Structure 1
């Protein structure tokens, strides 16, 4: 500042600061702060006093902000410096925050030999519809995870007033921590998931608490520690009146007791309901009626608790675009150690979004939540596909009773036209186009129906869900008692979707250049020269746009114009060949290796002949949650030789 102001202005500013610091109240507060800092650094001399820590304490107490405000140099937003070289925090003085600071990780023994690898750890945080992600660090036994997250503490009423100590204690939502490992090829895996109880910080006289959180593995390793994260919690501003240990312990115990009692009553009800269902027909025991499912932490939850309407804001425009978005998530069956039957693992929504891939159940749950957000009458269906393989998909029922199936893995839609088994053989019956064979149950966040029809074959199934002779329903009150977010705070509501931050045009161009380089190298190894045709590559863009439009809407548009442009650009006696393909990642080497597995693409890449010209066009279509539809077309043109 002194270098950019005239000397007289600097002198005037120093005088103003001196006058403000000379006030009795300000001097008393600074003396108290220095004394407290010295007390916390017992055993050290005054020469060892950490200047940065002292300045940070002045900021946290609001002394520097108050000083600057008195001189008219700040507005309502305060900038609080943090430790370890982090960026300043933007703190609104009218709100209360919980500052979650990650100090590092240790004891990740499984990754002891990962020090020199290019794989990384990333920490994802979710708290009351607030989502954060850390920077990626090298995966190792003691990862250097040092990050700070500012979590706003607010009531559901949307009041702008600062939340009180009592209201803070009433916020039962845990902080969900998800640790993801990403390898050099871009493949991600879930290391651990942990729900952290944070309200013990209310017991601290300084509103600060340091804790070591043990992150367990997932699935079959849910009881085995994967590593430890060292955390520090701090309330900002600190509480004027510290709550007693008895009050906090009693509140947490009361909440756990209520939840445990509701879960116990629901389990009793579910057992009786299942017993009644089996009495209808003994063969019902073999139908896929799934009432509970295990999450990544090994906790059995009612399947309805995995669902709630999810609003995409301005990130998705309609239901079909939502189906396209979900289909771009990677498919991955729950990992197992050893052989045997399929292991089910219904990840929580936050863990699934963080990992970016999951099994068919996770895809179906996300799609159903989005369709419910668009106010459609949507349900998750549990049944089988060909060869009796268990599967999950989504169903919607419109106001006329028309049933539509949505395949969440592909985005395809199928209209259900049931077969009437009572019709004579001469009467033609509709041929089903969907890949599903049987259905055992359907459910959403409010309802659960089990198929009570004589046959669970989907071809002749009737979806009049309110007909008790066809479907046995669960009590909506019983479902609400364990699935309502206000009654069951320990299963957090779904996190909001995050927008995509990539520059689609720049990313498309960079991937295109990488694929060109790989193609040129491949042809050089075969002793072939390579000539690129930029204009031909440009003409391929409409085709890629038409493919993506068709995946989103089911409509084909622009194909005739594309064919006309290709015909006009290909000279007489020349031949054109093209090969379009779509990926959900942008790893150039993986893409090129996959394309060469196709005989058509290999024929284009290794094209021999007269006046051979090659072209590659890449078009990336971004969707929420960093998912991308990566369309690529390889093409060539050459002069035909007899």
Structure 2
């Protein structure tokens, strides 16, 4: 079949561009010159076109050109690439579209073929034939690059078949013009963070495994390809138990000219681990001495919540300062209050435990927390503090207790003028702190502090740590002059930076960039609204009631929902005079209007409807009886980064009042 003229022209242009970019024209001329001198002995014999083509093919020039040109048709041996050049979305998902690689750059290709021995999932998806009850998703982080696999049905032996193309030059501007050689790659100590998430039929997520893959053994392969089995461990209390095994392949593009020996790789890795162990040991020695000095000040200090170390999902003890780092959201978040709104929409869940007992504390690494989209108060606080630091604020994570004595973490910012503001990361609320006089008479209920915090033991960020050194740790009377050693005992800045500072071989996992929202707010809002209409209609039919929907009334509810979200995001209450006026025009004389707004952080219609029915006001609207009853419902989904969303729903009805 002949190609159209415009396609032929386009193909010629592509070939011309590739020849120019790869400097292939010069190589062809050199090859021809060498061939004529070596093979023809300078006798001037003419070389045929086919012979010329065969010689170029033998030298690898033809294969090099074909590899650089992108075709739409699939070919055998083609690997599924997950690298896209979308600069606005930092998260790359698998698609049908193939992509080229820059021949002047070095890439690392991670291919996950299949899994086995996921024993907890033997009985998965055995209920309804053809229906997937739950699925796995792999998330990859490497040097600031994030990837997400397509969903794979949970099974004992899941068929994953997924590939990820990782750039080795991601950060260095000066490296853009040269190829990373074996020595350069040997010095890149960043591991590949592999996170496995399980999502059930209701959308609930579980962190199955969080593994840091050492990729540099591929440098010892003469073919620049390494195939192996990788055992994934569980998390939390199951961090020593195998969650499953995956069959992986790691490959370098282009291939290295000379492989390194196993001894060199082993020596480099051991040298780095030894250096890290020594840094951790020195910091531990310092922390012990610092804590001993702190206890000598007051005996009661041993009861305060001074949290120096915390355990992550893999059971590693880390300084709490390593969980915080200035995080810039790019163009995904515009203000600090919008960042607080985003963090509050990330689901909260305490770390699950086996058996009874107290609360199990687990501080999740940032990448795993964002992939799971769920975590405890410490995870929310460290994320919010990192975002506020990114916005240039003087922010700290606070560790203390709430009103009922429960251990809690929240965020504090201190302005240039000394104004202290508490940020509750779980709901986005802000509280101004004004210290009280402990010798003053008791206050009435109206003038008591509005924040729910009772005591505070320490505050910290990525480069500072302060323990409460005041006679009482009651938040209401605490002074937050952190530079005052009489009130706050500080750790050495150099000691903290020795284990938490940025270096060529960082001790702890790097922070991932935020990824853009992946949902269309208009489509998501319309879809959820239609589902709710069906649920209400069926619910009223079961009660023997007919349902009449008023589309105009539903549309008029939109400004109210927009005002609610604006208030949550900015803290300012916009005027709603226009909304009230429109409702008055839409409701005739002698009729009554009722409305019920509610906000969720998910888009599950049945779950939202069941929650709404538990409200007496909403139940009265949905069960409304009378003359000229008209119902309205409006849904507005506001997407945020990392698949977080604020879902506003408002049910309303108008009916003729009967005296």
Q: TM-score by structure 1 length?
A: 0.89
Distance 1:439 1:366 in 2: 19
Closer, same or farther: CA 426–2 of 1 in aligned 2, 3 Å: closer
The residue number in structure 1 matching 2:110 is 100
2:150 equivalent to 1:150: no
Distance 2:329 2:199 in 1: 26
Distance 2:67 2:110 in 1: 27
Distance 2:563 2:635 in 1: 13
Aligned-pair CA distance for 1:431: 2.2
Q: Of 540, 544, 552, which residue of structure 2 is paired with 1:527?
A: 544
Distance 1:176 1:473 in 2: 33
The residue number in structure 2 matching 1:110 is 120
Q: Of 152, 164, 183, which residue of structure 1 is paired with 2:181?
A: 164
Closer, same or farther: CA 572–332 of 1 in aligned 2, 3 Å: same
Determine if contact 1:203/1:244 at 8 Å carries over to the other structure: yes
Tell me the SS of whatever aligns to 1:387: coil
Closer, same or farther: CA 433–133 of 1 in aligned 2, 3 Å: same
Structure-to-structure mapping, 1:50-449, within 5 angstroms:
63-66=62-65, 82-83=78-79, 87-116=97-126, 117-154=132-169, 156-159=171-174, 160-161=176-177, 162-423=179-440, 431-449=448-466
Distance 1:552 1:481 in 2: 37
Aligned-pair CA distance for 1:91: 0.5
Aligned-pair CA distance for 1:564: 1.1
Tell me the SS of whatever aligns to 2:404: helix
The residue number in structure 2 matching 1:26 is 56
Closer, same or farther: CA 80–478 of 1 in aligned 2, 3 Å: farther
Determine if contact 1:174/1:490 at 8 Å carries over to the other structure: no
Determine if contact 1:178/1:351 at 8 Å carries over to the other structure: yes
Structure-to-structure mapping, 1:451-600, within 5 angstroms:
451-486=468-503, 489-600=506-617
Distance 2:443 2:64 in 1: 86
Aligned-pair CA distance for 1:157: 3.1
Give the gaps of 5 or more residues in structure 2: 16-27, 29-47, 82-95, 127-131
Partner deviation per Cα, 1:512-560 (whole Å, 9 max, x = no partner): 0000000000000000000000000000000000000000011111322
Tell me the SS of whatever aligns to 1:91: coil
Distance 1:83 1:128 in 2: 22
Distance 2:232 2:360 in 1: 21
Distance 1:301 1:21 in 2: 65
Aligned-pair CA distance for 1:502: 1.1
Aligned-pair CA distance for 1:571: 0.5
Closer, same or farther: CA 470–68 of 1 in aligned 2, 3 Å: closer
The residue number in structure 2 matching 1:38 is none
Determine if contact 1:215/1:227 at 8 Å carries over to the other structure: yes
Partner deviation per Cα, 1:141-195 (whole Å, 9 max, x = no partner): 1111111111000164322122222111111011000000001111111111100
Distance 1:264 1:68 in 2: 50
Partner deviation per Cα, 1:306-328 (whole Å, 9 max, x = no partner): 11100000000010000000000
Aligned-pair CA distance for 1:609: 0.6
Aligned-pair CA distance for 1:246: 1.7
Tell me the SS of whatever aligns to 1:250: helix
Distance 1:435 1:281 in 2: 26
Distance 2:405 2:373 in 1: 27
Tell me the SS of whatever aligns to 2:610: helix
Closer, same or farther: CA 295–539 of 1 in aligned 2, 3 Å: same
Distance 2:234 2:614 in 1: 36
Tell me the SS of whatever aligns to 1:420: coil
Aligned-pair CA distance for 1:244: 1.6
Determine if contact 1:447/1:474 at 8 Å carries over to the other structure: yes
Tell me the SS of whatever aligns to 1:415: strand
Q: TM-score by structure 2 length?
A: 0.87
Where in structure 1 do 4 or more consecutive aligned residues deviate above 6 Å?
424-429
Closer, same or farther: CA 314–274 of 1 in aligned 2, 3 Å: same
Distance 2:108 2:625 in 1: 65
Closer, same or farther: CA 270–92 of 1 in aligned 2, 3 Å: same
Distance 1:494 1:525 in 2: 52
Matched length: 600
Aligned-pair CA distance for 1:285: 0.6
Aligned-pair CA distance for 1:223: 0.2
Distance 1:255 1:131 in 2: 25
Tell me the SS of whatever aligns to 2:100: strand
Give the gaps of 5 or more residues in structure 1: 31-61
Tell me the SS of whatever aligns to 2:431: strand
Aligned-pair CA distance for 1:430: 5.3
Closer, same or farther: CA 426–549 of 1 in aligned 2, 3 Å: closer
Determine if contact 1:81/1:88 at 8 Å carries over to the other structure: no
Distance 1:21 1:537 in 2: 75
Determine if contact 2:630/2:655 at 8 Å carries over to the other structure: yes
Distance 1:395 1:334 in 2: 24
Closer, same or farther: CA 428–590 of 1 in aligned 2, 3 Å: closer
Tell me the SS of whatever aligns to 1:388: coil
The residue number in structure 2 matching 1:40 is none
The residue number in structure 1 matching 2:24 is none
Aligned-pair CA distance for 1:229: 1.3
Determine if contact 1:266/1:482 at 8 Å carries over to the other structure: yes
